[in-house]
């Protein structure tokens, strides 16, 4: 067990290094020169050389990479190329919490509703509500988030004027983005819950628990859900990953000052220091979520032994 | 060659169902049947785009903006007076071409990668699968955004971006199937008879994963159409004046209040297309699932 945890933790560093290298190489192979973009109309060879030197872009690529990794290891991500007055650390500190709050709310909503819906479907198999849920699930998996956004904005913001159509402030501004971001993970969670609960219900120990006179809610919570929890936790972990990247659409549509928006803007402006850091932070989040999911197995299911 | 035991010689392969059985299945799986019918119409319309519409997808007519559907413009016109039906049909052309190309590429890469890793095993397997782990640890949409954002938004780059997001999952699926097949009797028999690795792979392993590949690839098409639409919606996918459903939706988003119809038309087409690929893909997956196979 301790060995497994140690192995998983040891894997984090090479994964992060790999991600950093991937972005670094991609950034340098890509057409377009950040110095040229930065100077724009003021471009002339002398200032270009000077700026290139100031940014460290004239050094060999390997040196640049090692320097970058060294600084990143000390949580120093430098300054934005495009806006040298801004430190990347500050940008991340301001935007990451927004994205994380958005994702966490969406996942909480998706998990709560998804599990409930899945359990209802599983405990009433082949009923009208089960078929309705199945249809809703496949619809939820097929409709893109920006279409969900369009429909919700049209109805709740423009037609009934219940919530604002964009922005990020009071709780009213959170309702629509969270609902949009929750839609697809909700469908996934409902589907997986339904399948795994149906499987768990048919086990012998469930029959035993029922026959010894436990109420159906006790059986459901103690015996069925506990055993169906593994796949559900996996999918909730994946949902968190989805919600973090799903923000690319939601933050743009609802004009939310989160990290995904910053990332997209940085890519379009070739602001390499910001791009590299955003990617690194995303990858780190992903790795941490996956790790948490895998380790939670051990606590949820004593049969799992690494 | 005497050891050329084909898949069809072994009862492992799925027996060809009788016509009545197919009819019965179509009846039971009517959603997938409708999905397949819709996709057929869509593909034909996309192929025949220049024949079924007389307009050019980028022809503006500023005297006829925001027209309602009419005999002249079957689905009306958009904010620049462009024929929406034409744009939807050409959009289908682009979305389907991009998604099919990416699926073909990721399937080839994934099958090659997964088969080699699973069949040869050992250190090579380990090395190949760590690369897959690295790609999977990377959020897929972020990967796609990086590729088209940094390298430009040509159709080829979009295909490359989509391929990169999908192949690691395919490689993983194929590898786990090959791991099971590797120890089956017919593979061992072929090996015992002296078949080369190449022969075993191409003659025995690949034909036996085709069914898995078909289901998986169909589901991947739906995911990749969604990803392309998302990239185009954010503005780093298909570039104007080329029509793409995602781009049409983002172009018209600012008219959501006054002319919601402009957003609704491409949204419905896009959603129904993805839905159809999902329905057909899941039906295929169920068909080949030994627990729910075609004979049950």
Q: Mutating which of A267, A285, A294 best tests the B interface, going by the most B Cβ atoms within 10 A?
A: A267
Interchain proximity B233–A154, CB inside 8 Å = no
Rounded Cα distance between B98 and B159, Å, is 6
Extract the tokens encoding B135: 């790609």
Q: How far is B115 from chain A (nearest CA, A)?
A: 24
Give me the residue label for tokens 């009788």. B18
User: E strands within chain B?
Assistant: none
ipTM over 0.90: no
| pTM for this prediction | 0.86
Residue in A with minimal Cα distance to B276: A142
Rounded Cα distance between B50 and B234, Å, is 28
Rounded Cα distance between B100 and B77, Å, is 29
CB pairs under 8 A between A and B: 118
Interchain proximity A144–B229, CB inside 8 Å = yes
Q: How high is the pLDDT of residue B15?
A: 56
Interchain proximity B271–A279, CB inside 8 Å = no
Distances from the Cα of B48 to the Cα of B44, B53, B89, B98, B101, angstroms? 6, 9, 9, 17, 19
With beta carbons under 8 A apart, name residues in chain A contacting B145.
248, 263-264, 267
Select the residue of B147, B249, B282 nearest A146 (Cβ to Cβ).
Answer: B249
Q: How high is the pLDDT of residue A285?
A: 87
Best CA proximity match to A178, nearest among A277, A81, A247:
A247
Q: How high is the pLDDT of residue B162?
A: 94
Residue B83 is classified by DSSP as B
With beta carbons under 8 A apart, name residues in chain A contacting B257.
154, 158
Intervals of chain A under pLDDT 70: 1, 301-306
Q: How high is the pLDDT of residue A303?
A: 65
Contact A150, B253 (CB under 8 A): yes
Which residue(s) pair with B83 in the sheet? B77
Q: How far is A297 from chain B (nearest CA, A)?
A: 19
With beta carbons under 8 A apart, name residues in chain A contacting B230.
144-146, 248-249
Residue in B with minimal Cα distance to A30: B151
Rounded Cα distance between B165 and B104, Å, is 13
With beta carbons under 8 A apart, name residues in chain A contacting B262.
none
User: CB B115: neighbour CB atoms within 10 A?
Assistant: 23
With beta carbons under 8 A apart, name residues in chain B contacting A26.
146-147, 150-151
pLDDT digits (tens, 9 = 90+) for A41-60: 777 888 888 878 877 777 88
Best CA proximity match to A225, nearest among A189, A196, A251, A187:
A196
Q: How high is the pLDDT of residue B11?
A: 44
Q: How high is the pLDDT of residue A112?
A: 94
Interchain proximity B149–A264, CB inside 8 Å = yes
Best CA proximity match to A68, nearest among A78, A58, A59, A60:
A78
Select the residue of A143, A267, A290 nearest B150 (Cβ to Cβ).
Answer: A267
SS3 B242: coil
Q: How high is the pLDDT of residue B110?
A: 94
Interchain proximity B230–A286, CB inside 8 Å = no
Q: How high is the pLDDT of residue B12?
A: 47
Interchain proximity B142–A142, CB inside 8 Å = no
Select the residue of B134, B229, B253 nearest A150 (Cβ to Cβ).
Answer: B253
Intervals of chain B under pLDDT 70: 1-19, 289-296
Q: How many CA atoms lie within 13 A of B96 on its CB side?
A: 20
Select the residue of B233, B263, B279 nearest A138 (Cβ to Cβ).
Answer: B279
Q: Mutating which of A26, A147, A283 best tests the B interface, going by the most B Cβ atoms within 10 A?
A: A147
User: CB A173: neighbour CB atoms within 10 A?
Assistant: 18
With beta carbons under 8 A apart, name residues in chain B contacting A271.
none
Q: Mutating which of A143, A144, A191 best tests the B interface, going by the most B Cβ atoms within 10 A?
A: A144
Q: How high is the pLDDT of residue B152?
A: 83
Interchain proximity B134–A26, CB inside 8 Å = no
Residue in A with minimal Cα distance to B234: A249
């Amino acid at each position: 067990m301790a060995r497994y945890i140690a192995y998983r933790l040891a894997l984090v560093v090479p994964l992060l290094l790999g991600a950093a290298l991937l972005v670094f190489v991609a950034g340098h192979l890509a057409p377009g020169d950040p110095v040229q973009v930065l100077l724009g109309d003021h471009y002339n060879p002398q200032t270009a050389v000077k700026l290139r030197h100031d940014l460290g872009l004239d050094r060999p690529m390997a040196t640049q990479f090692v320097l970058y990794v060294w600084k990143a290891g000390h949580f120093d991500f430098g300054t934005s190329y495009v806006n040298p007055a801004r430190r990347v650390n500050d940008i991340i500190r301001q935007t990451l919490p927004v994205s994380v709050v958005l994702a966490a709310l969406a996942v909480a909503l998706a998990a709560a509703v998804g599990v409930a819906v899945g359990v209802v479907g599983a405990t009433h198999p082949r009923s009208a509500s089960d078929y309705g849920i199945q249809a809703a699930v496949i619809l939820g998996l097929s409709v893109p988030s920006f279409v969900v956004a369009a429909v919700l904005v049209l109805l709740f913001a423009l037609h009934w004027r219940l919530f604002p159509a964009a922005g990020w402030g009071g709780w009213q501004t959170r309702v629509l983005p969270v609902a949009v971001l929750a839609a697809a993970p909700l469908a996934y969670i409902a589907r997986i819950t339904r399948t795994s609960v149906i499987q768990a219900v048919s086990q012998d120990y469930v029959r035993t628990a029922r026959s010894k006179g436990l109420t159906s809610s006790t059986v459901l919570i103690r015996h069925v859900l506990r055993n169906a929890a593994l796949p559900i936790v996996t999918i909730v972990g994946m949902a968190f990953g989805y919600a973090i990247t799903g923000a690319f659409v939601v933050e743009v549509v609802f004009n939310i000052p989160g990290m995904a928006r910053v990332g997209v803007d940085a890519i379009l402006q070739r602001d390499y220091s910001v791009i590299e850091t955003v990617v690194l932070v995303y990858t780190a989040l992903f790795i941490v979520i996956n790790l948490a999911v895998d380790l939670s197995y051990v606590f949820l299911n004593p049969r799992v032994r690494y | 060659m005497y050891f050329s035991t084909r898949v069809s010689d072994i009862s492992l392969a799925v027996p060809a169902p009788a016509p009545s059985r197919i009819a019965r299945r179509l009846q039971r799986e009517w959603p997938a049947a409708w999905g397949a019918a819709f996709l057929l119409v869509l593909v034909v319309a996309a192929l025949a785009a220049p024949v079924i519409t007389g307009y050019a997808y980028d022809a503006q007519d500023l005297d006829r903006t925001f027209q309602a559907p009419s005999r002249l413009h079957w689905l009306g016109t958009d904010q620049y007076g462009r024929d929406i039906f034409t744009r939807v049909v050409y959009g289908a052309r682009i979305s389907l071409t991009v998604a099919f190309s990416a699926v073909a590429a990721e399937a080839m890469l994934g099958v090659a990668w997964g088969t080699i890793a699973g069949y040869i095993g050992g250190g090579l397997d380990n090395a190949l699968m760590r690369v897959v782990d690295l790609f999977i640890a990377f959020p897929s949409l972020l990967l796609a955004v990086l590729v088209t954002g940094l390298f430009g938004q040509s159709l080829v780059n979009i295909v490359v971006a989509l391929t990169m997001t999908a192949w690691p999952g395919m490689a993983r699926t194929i590898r786990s199937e090959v791991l099971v097949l590797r120890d089956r009797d017919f593979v061992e028999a072929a090996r015992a008879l002296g078949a080369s690795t190449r022969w075993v792979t191409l003659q025995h392993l690949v034909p036996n994963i085709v069914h898995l590949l078909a289901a998986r690839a169909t589901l991947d098409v739906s995911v990749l159409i969604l990803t392309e639409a998302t990239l185009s919606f954010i503005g780093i996918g298909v570039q104007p004046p080329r029509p793409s459903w995602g781009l049409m939706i983002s172009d018209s988003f600012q008219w959501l209040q006054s002319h919601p119809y402009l957003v609704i038309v491409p949204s419905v087409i896009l959603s129904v297309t993805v839905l159809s690929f999902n329905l057909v893909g899941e039906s295929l997956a169920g068909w080949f699932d030994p627990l729910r196979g075609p004979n049950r």
